[in-house]
């Protein structure tokens, strides 16, 4: 279980638990300082003056006092109810909020950089000027994943009104399809990758080759018990009993196949509790969090990273 949990938890770049870390990372990005290992543990911390409340948590040598930060964060996590322990639901809610903030920031930053005419919307040519939307040869012949026709179709799918440009919310769906509720995007972006014969539905072989093994790894970690066979799971989701899986039938499984940061928040929460819950009551006390304090700051420190294994490396 620990090995599987580690794989799930590191399949994505971890969203920092601490919003202070997020604000510091953004300050570094704005200064053009990217790719710095352990960015909040540098001897030169002059950039901290730009980040509200940051300096009080750092030593003169530039080390973040994570004990003090966790003590500060604990009452912000322990709110429903405030009972001196952090439940799964409380930690998951917090992690989802950090993920949502990260996604919104990313979309806004991308829109600002691409919106050339400043109209608050993104046209296809503003985002992908290297492709010509009116070029029907490109559109019809280059429909492979990531090619020009594919991008054009995905851009159209993201728009709610087919206006040819995307609002902030529509642009967010386009940039982050895994976290979108737009069914057209899921059908085109996710199902098409698995659909050998391009009939926009999956037969059992396509299900077995592209879906089942990934699902099996996640469900073994999530449920911790019996995992249905490929045949059993296919029959379960084949509501039409026609031996094909339509997009609507696949929807409950898409979060396992292409989980976005919001889905990841749940798995990351499970991982943190699994690793730090010393008394196995399904909750975290302040003492347990402090006993495993580096675990909650693994975006900063590499301690224990040799034990992590990417989920897809196991498939």
Closest CA to 20 of 60, 81, 88, 68: 68
Residue 275 above 90 pLDDT? Answer: yes
Mean pLDDT of 62-85: 93
Max Cα-Cα span within the chain: 67
Strands 85-87, 283-285: pairing kind: antiparallel
3-state DSSP percent of the chain in helix, strand and coil, to 5: 60, 5, 35
Neighbours of 257 (CB within 10 A): 17
Confirm whether pTM is higher than 0.85. Answer: no
Rounded to the nearest integer, the mean pLDDT of the chain is: 78
Pairing of β 85-87 and β 122-123: unpaired
Q: CA 249, CA 236: separation in Å to the nearest integer? A: 10
Domains, the chain, ordered by start:
2-101+264-313 (1.10.238.10), 182-259 (1.10.238)
pLDDT more than 90, % of the chain:
33
What pLDDT score was predicted for residue 310?
Answer: 38
Instruction: Name the band, by pLDDT with cuts 50, 70 and 90, for residue 295.
Output: very high
């Amino acid at each position: 279980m620990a090995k599987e949990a580690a794989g799930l938890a590191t399949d994505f770049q971890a969203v920092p638990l601490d919003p202070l870390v997020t604000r510091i990372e953004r300050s570094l990005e704005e200064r053009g300082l990217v790719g710095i290992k352990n960015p909040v543990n540098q001897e030169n911390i002059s950039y901290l003056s730009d980040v509200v409340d940051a300096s009080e948590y750092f030593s003169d040598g530039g080390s973040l006092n994570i004990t003090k930060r966790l003590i500060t964060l604990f009452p912000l996590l322990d709110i429903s109810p405030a009972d001196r322990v952090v439940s799964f639901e409380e930690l998951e809610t917090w992690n989802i909020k950090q993920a949502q903030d990260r996604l919104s920031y990313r979309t806004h930053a991308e829109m600002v950089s691409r919106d050339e005419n400043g109209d608050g919307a993104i046209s296809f040519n503003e985002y992908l000027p290297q492709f010509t939307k009116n070029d029907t040869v490109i559109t019809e012949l280059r429909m492979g994943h990531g090619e020009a026709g594919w991008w054009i179709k995905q851009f159209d799918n993201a728009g709610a009104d087919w206006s040819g440009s995307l609002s902030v919310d529509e642009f967010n769906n386009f940039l982050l399809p895994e976290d979108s509720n737009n069914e057209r995007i899921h059908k085109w972006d996710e199902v098409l990758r698995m659909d050998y014969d391009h009939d926009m539905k999956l037969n059992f072989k396509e299900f077995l080759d592209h879906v089942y093994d990934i699902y099996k790894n996640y469900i073994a970690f999530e449920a911790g018990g019996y995992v249905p066979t490929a045949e059993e799971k296919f029959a379960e989701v084949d509501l039409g009993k026609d031996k094909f899986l339509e997009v609507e039938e696949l929807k409950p499984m898409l979060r396992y196949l292409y989980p976005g940061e919001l889905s990841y928040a749940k798995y990351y929460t499970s991982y943190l509790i699994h690793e730090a819950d010393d008394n196995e009551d399904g909750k975290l006390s302040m003492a347990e969090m402090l006993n495993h304090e580096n675990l909650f700051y693994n975006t900063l420190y590499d301690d224990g990273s040799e034990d992590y294994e990417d989920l897809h490396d196991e498939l």
